[in-house]
Amino acid sequence: MTDETENENPITRPLRLPCGAELKNRLAKSAMSDSLGNGEGDSTPTQARLYERWAQGGAAVSIVGEVQFDPHRAEKPGNLVLGPGCDRAALHSLVTCGTANGTHLWPQIGNAGALAYPPISAPRGPSALELDGLQCAALTIDEIRALPSRFAETARLARDIGFTGVQVHAAHGFLLSQFLSPLFNQRSDEYGGPIEARGRLLFEVIDAVRAAVGPDFPVAIKLNSSDQLEGGLTEEEALAVVDLLDECPIDLIDISGGTYFPGAKAASDAAGGGPYFLAFTERARRHTTKPLMTTGGFKRNKQVIEAVAGATTDMVGLARALVIDPSLPQRWLYSPSADPDFPRFASSPPGGVTAWYTMRLTALGEDREDRYDPDVASILETYEERDRRRCTAWIARFGTAV
């Protein structure tokens, strides 16, 4: 081995996926609910500009979070809806901007299920639940059996529009994650019971998506390492899913964790503020030959380099770090310098920190982050008022959820 190779920054190396596609380096802009749809399920110039900035900033792949195929099971009224009647011209603009500089752009295809946003949705999950802060009806067996084709149709549409891959969302307590979790999934038919049965829908979705997009189109999955909830998906069960995924036609397993279940702990609560899921990724490495990506808690260049150099993970997903500095990959790849300076919130109302980061995405997409208001309380008010306005537009476009 030459000195040049020994001194090479490991995160600059490209990653070839099993389907044959190549990611130009080891840094990904992981999926976030950017809330930059127009309130009617379509993309906007602000969203396109945001993804252009991440592409120019050096990320190998950007993943568009919370892209829905069913407007009646959406996470928020700022989500994109990819289906009949979508604004293809706006999506083409998003793809053109987001794939600049050799960057891949993948929509994260999902369904919020039991966690669908009640003002615009009718929450439906694997089983009926009546809990404080969470109520939902159960999907019928026919509705479940129809889901793989819905995912597949959406993936095919994404490919036809020009997206360069897709990610299937099976994490963070949304629908496919709910099927994996015994807390949400109490079914007694072929989709409930042992983890192999609770994973049946996920595996059917993967097979249908692969059949729809062909063999050379990247198909990734986002998977929880655990739900971090009593009675939820455990790490041992998640490893059993990884075992089964090794036989599936996928290209990348993106490991994360936690849920948006009311009262659930944040991932940082259990990880001491560092990368949250590396220990699980190291265990998962022994259960699969698929490339692995780890998302959550990476804040320092040294953390990223050590994780990739040690082969603990093949890719690192960055989220809030790229909200602070959308050009961070370029700096870390070629001229490592100061790490991002994360804001410190002495106090915040519930939901305030999430609102702060979400509204900063809007500021980035409008090239006005230098004038971004740092006051969390006022930003939360603006964020919530925007969602209220969008709910009206969403219902006018898609009708009342049933």
pLDDT of 268: 53
Q: Per-residue pLDDT tens for 72-91?
A: 999 999 999 999 999 999 99
pLDDT of 64: 98
Instruction: List Cβ neighbours of 315 (8 Å cut-off, separation of 6 or more).
Output: 15, 23, 26, 27, 28, 60, 252, 254, 291, 292, 293, 294, 308
Alpha-carbon distance of 264 to 261, in angstroms, equals: 5
pLDDT of 4: 46
pLDDT of 258: 86
What are the residue ranges in the chain where pLDDT is below 70?
Answer: 1-7, 262-273
* DSSP, res 184: T
C-beta separation of 187 from 193 below 8 A: yes
Q: Per-residue pLDDT tens for 226-277?
A: 988 888 999 999 999 999 999 999 999 999 998 887 666 665 545 456 799 9
pLDDT of 273: 66
pLDDT of 263: 65
Task: Give how far Cα 365 sits from Cα of 28, 54, 78, 339, 358, Å.
Answer: 18, 10, 14, 22, 11
